[in-house]
Structure 1
Amino acid sequence: MVAPVISAPEPADAEAWFDFIVAQQAETYAGIVPDDFVARQSVYRQEWVPGLAASFAAPGSAWRVVAKLDGAIVGAASVVDGPQDWEIGAGLVPAPAGRELERLYVAPEWHGRGLGAQLLELVDDGRDLYLWLIDGNERARAFYRRRGFVDLPESLRTSESWGGVAMHRMVRRAPVA
């Protein structure tokens, strides 16, 4: 099979990025999030796509990569500065690290083929890094644990658009030189 082409996302990728992320979240968390998850997330599309396009045009401190095969997205990853505004608003400060792995999704046909690890490597600058993990996503938990992430002893409920499911943070400390 031909390998996907990996690059920084372009502003024109914003709609496909949003659609890919929501579709992968729905598939990854099937049976955990509500059955109408895609509809709940789709209400944000018109609001978020322009912001994504702008961030793809001028990424600032965010690191994002997209993997495409025949023009279709098959993987996406992003790291942003933390804490994010929603974390601050929820009182989840200080963040356990200054950078957050905001997204890492790979189409199911690419699971177990190294694409997720490759995308993570491209957005990870080696500094301390944290992420939020939906409880019950054991495949992702195992993936991150193999890469040095540890579970933090906390639990938080997602917003209603996610169905109020439980999640927690994981953190990976950079090696001390």
Structure 2
Amino acid sequence: METIDAAQAVIREPAATDAERWDEFIVAEQAAVYRGVVPDDFAERQRAQRDRAARTAAFAHPSTTVRLIAEIDGELVGAVEACDAPAAWERSLGLADDAPADRELGRLYVSERARGTGLAAKLMDAALGADDAYLWIIDGNERAKRFYARRGFVDYGESVAAGPSWGGVSMRRMVRRAGDAAQSN
């Protein structure tokens, strides 16, 4: 598969009309990245719980959540989302009292053609800057773990089960302190 030139990517905030494309891109990339780790019907489970109306409304109204997409010639090749922490799903699991930073990198996905091109780092930097942040990573995603470690994220020392649509696979939190990120780049 031919890789893209990350320098050609146009990074922008998604419009309300991008909501369905965003959802489909995220689901497809999650299913590809976690194939063999999550249940075989993972993509169907994710699609079933997506609320397109809520996503469209979220894209239409400004908030403190940063969402960006990367496109090349109209093709969606990357997406990132960073939000105030803790997220609602973390509160529902009782993880809200232990949020190690005020910002969470909730999603960062690039297409297979964009992996290794620098686009993921560009998206993450645009969404987070050098602020303190944390993220959740599915255990076994070593490529992502190496990527985040190169950008100053370290294991936070906990492991919890992901929700039912993820098949209860284990995930862990990684955290980055602003000073650590500057030293690692």
TM-score surpassing 0.5?
Answer: yes
- Indicate which of 91, 107, 110 corresponds to 2:111: 107
Using structure 1 for the length normalisation, give the TM-score: 0.94
2:160 is equivalent to residue 156 of structure 1: yes
Cα-to-partner distance string for 1:107-164 (whole Å, 9 max, x where unaligned)? 0111000100110110013221000000000000000000000001111111111111
- TM-score, normalising length: structure 2: 0.90
Aligned-residue CA RMSD (Å): 1.5
Q: Given the alignment, which residue of 135, 146, 150 partners 1:146? A: 150
- Superposed CA offset, 1:18-68 (max 9, x none): 0000000000001100111111111023x2x22222221223101111011
Shift of 1:94: 2.8
Distance 1:172 1:62 in 2: 18
The residue that corresponds to 2:53 in the other structure is 50
* 1:135 aligned partner: 139
Q: CA deviation at 1:69?
A: 2.0
- Aligned partner of 1:77 in structure 2 is 80
Q: Partners in 1 of 2:46 and 2:89 — Cα distance? A: 16
Paired AA for residue 150 in structure 2: R
1:74-124: CA deviation from partner (whole Å, max 9, x where unpaired): 100010000011111211123111100001000011100010011011001
1:97: which partner in 2?
101
In structure 1, stretches of 5+ residues that fail to align are none
Question: Does 1:14 pair with 2:23?
Answer: no
Equivalent residue, structure 2, for 1:41: 46
How far off its partner does 1:172 sit?
0.0
Unaligned residue ranges in structure 2 (runs of 5+)? 181-185
Larger helix percent:
2
* Matched-pair identity in %: 51
